[in-house]
Amino acid sequence: MNSPALMQHSTLSVADAIASRRSIRAFLPTPVSREAISAILELAARAPSGSNTQPWRVYVLSGSSKNLLSEKILAAHNDPVQLAEQTHEYEYYPRKWISPYVERRRKVGWDLYGLLGLTREDKAGMHAQHGRNYAFFDAPVGLIFAIDRVLEMGSWLDYGMFLQNVMLAARGMGLDTCPQAAFTPFHRIIAAHLEMPENEMLVCGMSLGYADQTRIENTLVTERAKVAEFTTFLD
């Protein structure tokens, strides 16, 4: 663990890294060096995984490769015919929304749209805001995560730990992130753009960069249920 790359990390406490991570939806153009990205991934890869399988596969996009992918996805997102043709390779969200999840989902959605001054009637405005996902919210770095199709649900559990590590390691370097399932319907466009081998499947995307603190969408603070609501203590 004494790799020079890891020495770049700050001494931000674990608690501070966890508590200060928020999904950021507007980034500054300030670039992030390849060394910094490598250091984040090197640290994140210390995540545990069943039998040390390490199921993660990461594509790091910046510059024209990122911009071109954004253009391709936005073209499909903005074309109703192409948009209707997109399918998911896996269901990230439940097929049936029930309480309490549906209320939580609505709340975070309307809190974000409310900050942006978007009303329920403003379908075009909401579509455009959703489209900001595909520009990686203007972040200088777009991460695309893939997994080998042969791996099962346990590896997806491992993958989540890796993703959280990426976000926390980024915080340790003063960087911010937004994990993005919004990419999943566009897996065919992404796989073709990245020339992903057939055995790889898209997991999600992530924006990485420096938060633009002046932007209203970055003031969103999300709620959490209290510990007593999701925990049973047994003596």
Ligand X SMILES: Cc1cc2nc3c(=O)[nH]c(=O)nc-3n(C[C@H](O)[C@H](O)[C@H](O)COP(=O)(O)O)c2cc1C
Residues that bind ligand X (CB under 6 A): 22-23, 25, 108, 133, 178-182, 204, 222
Nearer to ligand X, 68 or 101 (CB): 101
- Rounded least distance, CB 152 to ligand X, Å: 18
**CB of 49 or CB of 180, closer to ligand X:** 180
Cα–chain center distance at 228: 28
CB of 120 to ligand X, least distance (A): 18
Using left for φ > 0, alpha for ψ between -120 and 50, and beta otherwise, residue 174 falls in left
| Nearest-CB residue for ligand X | 182
Please say which residue, 18 or 35, places its beta carbon nearer to ligand X. Answer: 18
Strands 176-180 and 141-148: unpaired
Q: Give bridge partners of residue 206 from the DSSP assignment.
A: 143, 179
Whole-number minimum distance, CB 19 to ligand X, in Å?
A: 10
Residue among 229 and 235 whose Cβ is closer to ligand X: 229
Contacts (Cβ under 8 Å, ≥6 apart) of 208: 32, 37, 40, 139, 140, 141, 142, 143, 170, 175, 176, 177
CB-based contacts of 80, cutoff 8 Å, min separation 6 = none
Give min distance, CB of 196 to ligand X, in A. Answer: 19
Nearest to 184 by CA among 58, 89, 78: 89
Nearer to ligand X, 19 or 33 (CB): 19
CB of 154 to ligand X, least distance (A): 17
The distance of closest approach from Cβ of residue 60 to ligand X in the complex, given in angstroms and rounded to an integer, is 18
Between 48 and 92, name the residue whose CB sits nearer to ligand X: 92
